[in-house]
Amino acid sequence: MKSRWNDEDAARYVEAALEAGQSEALGLRIYTSRIIGGDPDLVLHGGGNTSVKVTSADGEALMHIKGSGWDLDTIEAPGLPAVRLAPLFEARNGPKLSDPDMVALLRASLIEADAPNPSVEALLHAFLPFAFVDHTHATAILALADQPDMRETVSRVYGERLAYVPYVMPGFDLSIVADRIYRDHPGCEGLWLENHGLFTFADDARASYELMIEFVTMAEEELARKGITLSGPQPSDGAEDTALTARLEAALTRDGSPFARGVFLDYRSTAAIREHAGKENVEAIGLRGTVTPDHVIRIKPWPMVIEAGADEAAIDAALAAYADRYRAYFTRNATRTDEPKQMLDVYPRLVLVRGKGIYALGASAKAAGIGGDLCEQATRAINAAEAYGRFTPIGEADLFDMEYWSLEQAKLKVAAQ
């Protein structure tokens, strides 16, 4: 992976920030956020988050942190709302916070009351003692993070430069655990989050960003050591079966469907997707879960699989089987939660056609396109993970907790507005 840092571009962002009455640090934060967001092998569609700590004119310690509903590739100053750090530090040694209480604390700490909600990982950003903190879901990192028992491999590849964080639900719990692990490894330059992604940090914008590039490159080199070349995003070049598309659309828009008023189908057939769709055990692989936890809120826990040329009856049977499987998944997991859950619709968001390609489904072209982008990245990560060892994402219980997490559901409501 190549660094996209450019001194002249960075200077323009600093100049624009100063002209707007903002700090040089915020200008650099906007710049590096955008070059991170501009690389789909680092983050996609609202994924990842960034922050910078500054001191206000009256000496108060603040942090600009990515706000919910903003994408890094187009972020502007309003998408990096400022929060007061002092009340966040108090939470470090206080009682466990519920999700609503954590959100309330973050909102109460905002400088501007009408700013967007700070990232659910804001506390972790606050606790890390560096000016700049970057977090991504890089494709190469996911291919290795979604492997069983990777602690020793991470140690071999990165030495003491990365500290290993076992999977913990994002939010308050992850902030506390990751902070403790960082403090146990005070010389590290980043955090490796099992089944999740990567954090890097430094007191300089370029240094934090280029640590991210370096560490992702090292992951690519580890894959290459086993003969695995992880290509970048690929164009869809496989022919679409328009008759199959029409049959899918008819089946998905019947009365009672969440798509009864219309469905958008985004068809992708790339070399990587065809490789994945051609695996004999592709359905079993899909049932393991998503490549990074937050994907589940957009594409459901697993795809529906049909044969190429499936007729209307076969599609109806696949939809019925998917619904039965989803209801059983909900029933198994909802009974163990502390708060009541209302089941979401039982329709897929991805339909995989064996050996051919994948349809992403959405109530809008934007939603379908996002699903298509996510599955394009995911199939490349899964192919690499399977070639390296075994694709092993978070388990069903953790996947359910993410899908039905109130804070993640809120992101979809904001995106739909």
Q: What is the CATH number of the domain that holds 43?
A: 3.40.225.10
Is 148 within a domain?
yes
* Same-domain pairing of 109 and 253: no
pLDDT digits (tens, 9 = 90+) for 312-356: 999 999 999 999 999 999 999 999 887 888 899 999 999 999 999
What's the helix, strand, coil split of the chain in %, to 5? Answer: 50, 15, 40
- Asked if 362 and 350 count as a contact pair (C-beta separation under 8 A), the reply is no
Q: Where are the alpha helices (DSSP H) in 128-204?
A: 139-145, 151-158, 172-184
Which is nearest to 117 in space by CA: 143, 83, 89, 150? Answer: 83
Q: What angle do CA 335, 341, 345 make, to 5 degrees?
A: 110
* Same-domain pairing of 299 and 172: no
Q: Which amino acid is at 5?
A: W
pLDDT digits (tens, 9 = 90+) for 163-173: 999 999 999 99
- At residue 22, the pLDDT reads 96
- Asked if 351 and 248 count as a contact pair (C-beta separation under 8 A), the reply is yes
Q: Where are the alpha helices (DSSP H) in 278-311?
A: 282-286, 296-299
pLDDT digits (tens, 9 = 90+) for 215-241: 999 999 999 999 999 989 999 999 999
* Same-domain pairing of 269 and 162: no
Within 8 A by CB and 6+ apart from 114, the residues are none
The conformation of residue 69, written as its DSSP 8-state character, comes to T
The residue among 225, 255, 273 that closes a domain is 225
Q: How many domains does the chain have?
A: 2
* Same-domain pairing of 50 and 136: yes
Full-model pTM:
0.94
CA torsion through residues 17, 22, 26, 30, sign: negative
* Same-domain pairing of 205 and 262: no
* Same-domain pairing of 260 and 165: no
pLDDT digits (tens, 9 = 90+) for 70-115: 999 999 999 999 999 999 999 999 999 988 899 999 999 999 999 9
Please say if the pLDDT value at position 410 is more than 70. no
Cα(50)–Cα(42) distance, rounded to whole angstroms?
Answer: 12
pLDDT digits (tens, 9 = 90+) for 24-48: 999 999 999 999 999 999 998 878 9
Mean pLDDT of 258-283: 97
Please report, for the domain that includes residue 398, its CATH number.
Answer: 3.40.225
The residue among 180, 197, 225 that closes a domain is 225
* Same-domain pairing of 221 and 246: no
Q: Beta strand 162-165 with 190-193: parallel, antiparallel or unpaired?
A: parallel
Token representation of residue 100: 């609503």
Please say if the pLDDT value at position 412 is more than 60. no
Tell me the residue range of the domain where 300 lies.
Answer: 242-416
* Same-domain pairing of 76 and 207: yes
- Asked if 101 and 90 count as a contact pair (C-beta separation under 8 A), the reply is no
Please say if the pLDDT value at position 178 is more than 50. yes
Q: Please state, for a pLDDT cut of 70, what percent of the chain lies above it.
A: 97
Written as one string, the DSSP assignment of 203-235 is SSHHHHHHHHHHHHHHHHHHHHHTT--------
Cα(14)–Cα(16) distance, rounded to whole angstroms?
Answer: 5
E-strand ranges in 186-341 read 190-193, 197-202, 264-268, 304-306
SS3 40: coil
Token representation of residue 152: 């020793």
- At residue 407, the pLDDT reads 64
Please say if the pLDDT value at position 264 is more than 70. yes
Round the average pLDDT of the chain to a whole number and report it.
95
- Asked if 139 and 41 count as a contact pair (C-beta separation under 8 A), the reply is yes
**Residue 417: which pLDDT band, with cuts at 50, 70 and 90?**
very low
pLDDT digits (tens, 9 = 90+) for 388-409: 999 999 999 999 999 998 765 5
Chain-centroid distance, C-alpha 105: 23
pLDDT digits (tens, 9 = 90+) for 288-304: 999 999 899 999 999 99
